[in-house]
Amino acid sequence: MSDVMNEQSGAKSPRYKQLANKFVADIHAGRLKPGTRMPSLRQFARQQQVSISTAVSCYEELKSLGWISARPQSGFYISSAELPQDSSHPYPQWSQFVSQVSTPKPAQTVFEHGPLGVSFSPLDEQAVREMETSFRRAIRRIGDRLSRYPDYQGEISLRQALANHFTQQGFPFQAGELVISHGCLSAIKAALETCTRPGDAVAINSPCFNGLLELLAQMSLNIVEIPSLDEGIDLAQLEFHLKAGNVQAGLFSTTFMNPQGITMSVEQKKHLAKLANHYQTPIIEDDVYLELSHMGEFVLPAKYYDDEGYILWCGSVSKTLSPSYRLGWCLPGRYLEIYLAKFSAGSFGVATQIQLAIADAIETGAYTRLLRKKQIQLLGQKQRYSDFLRQHLPKNSRISQPQGGIVLWLQIPGLDVKAMEQDLQKHKVDIRLGPLFTSLSLYQDCLRINIGYPLNEAVKEELQTLIAIIRRHITSDD
């Protein structure tokens, strides 16, 4: 009875979701194996001391996310767990090269914006309803602010909500240290304007999100690509360029990188912060995927280890909620005053209503609930996409297995992605090919796939078309 009352009271974390999350964690950790039979609903209810309705809700949640399946007249079974690495589908290999200054070039391709191309995960109906509620409350609370320009630094209620949110995750900062921006890319652009001048060189991840390469090209900045490693990036090469004065700033994704999916180890993040402070060189940290851990565990950013304020930490709700809100932020550290001046010079602030709505979602706990649900959904979708790709791609294909984010990085030996372009356009398949993520002659056998959409029949059909195109453009069996 107490369990039912708890659910009816509108508790922030319903018991059935807590139980479902525990099952997902056990599956991911290997404590529950594929094919394992689940307890009957009555047995489960007795074991967990919950009502039958809670047990049913828990199983329905797991079923909807693809973690269990029902067998007629037999019961429920674990349907999937993350497969161990095997020799037929190893992880991608990271290109190793000597870093040097190069010039980024804007991409010429016009994209279709299909489900496999854009790095995006749509809101479900429940999330849409919750956000609509937050927007209605924001309209009622806007008051006389409707007649004023927004605060250039951002609404204090949002900055305080974000400060409280991240402080609860173990990453503390003050509301006065934060600047609200028009999405993460806007935050990064203002950071680059703060730290660089046209003609300067910026150290970046390689491969690097194509949107950042476009931005750097438009700002007339040169780049130094730093090779990826399993544990992050080649920090020895980065230090060489910092010491030689070859780069005036750094711009790195550090957690669930786009496109390669790597997360810097704690040691790497500490070392990156140490390098920024030692060489007194600004490092911009693009952390737009930070909160999309597939296991719901918060990963501390490199900014956490920054003692002297040389890291400018940027994030947004574009991946966790919706890119249409165009809301992000920057923690500029020692550069706060000049950053705010650069940002406000090209903007009269961010729309007040959007800020108040996001603040409401965070303050009421809606954001945390939606975030946790999305994390579990992405874990399941990663598995389903990986399984599908393993079944249909050539056996020597290499598939990343990131612990968070929305994309998979594929490497298919012998693939000629350049030759694929016209074929992809002919069949209207939107995909991001490896060369898009570099200014060098690299990643010619690689591509990136978005896993943010549920793997429904329409997405499977597009994947089948993509795989057929891939098979037509493999030039060797190496």
Q: What integer pLDDT is reported at residue 402 of this predicted model?
A: 93
Residue-by-residue pLDDT tens, the chain, 478 positions: 334 334 333 334 588 888 888 887 777 666 777 778 888 888 889 888 899 999 998 988 887 677 787 776 678 888 754 444 444 557 899 999 999 999 998 776 666 678 999 999 999 999 999 999 999 999 999 998 888 999 999 999 999 999 999 999 999 999 999 999 999 999 999 999 999 999 999 999 999 999 999 999 999 999 999 999 999 999 999 999 999 999 999 999 999 999 999 999 999 999 999 999 999 999 999 999 999 998 778 999 999 999 999 999 999 999 999 999 999 999 999 999 999 999 998 788 999 999 999 999 999 999 999 998 999 899 889 989 999 999 999 999 999 999 999 999 999 999 999 899 999 999 999 999 999 999 999 999 999 999 999 999 999 999 999 999 999 999 865 4
Q: Name the residue type at position 136.
A: R
Beta strands in 185-247 (DSSP E): 201-206, 222-229, 232-233
Q: Each residue of 22-57: pLDDT tens digit? A: 887 777 666 777 778 888 888 889 888 899 999 998
Sheet holding 398-399, edge to edge: 398-399, 407-411, 446-450, 432-433
**Whole-number Å distance between alpha carbons of 367 and 133:** 12
pLDDT tens profile 214-262:
999 999 999 999 999 999 999 999 999 999 999 999 999 999 999 999 9
Residue identified by tokens 């851990």 is 293
**229 Rama sector, left if φ>0, alpha if ψ -120 to 50, beta otherwise:** beta
pLDDT of residue 81: 43
CA 79 – CA 357 distance, rounded (Å): 38
Which residue in this structure is represented by tokens 């039912």? 4
| Cβ contact 462:391 at 8 Å | no
Structure tokens at 243: 């010491």
Whole-model pTM: value is: 0.83
- DSSP element (H, E) containing 411: strand 407-411
Separation CA 433–CA 315 (nearest Å): 25
Q: Which two tokens stand for residue 10?
A: 């509108």
Residues 6+ away with beta carbon under 8 Å from 271: 235
Collapsed DSSP state (helix, strand, coil) of residue 415: strand
Task: List all residues 6 or more positions away from 296 whose beta carbon is below 8 Å from its beta carbon.
Answer: 21, 372, 375, 376
State pLDDT tens for residues 387-426: 999 999 999 999 999 999 999 999 999 999 989 999 999 9
The predicted pLDDT at position 228 comes to 97
Tell me what pLDDT residue 109 has.
63
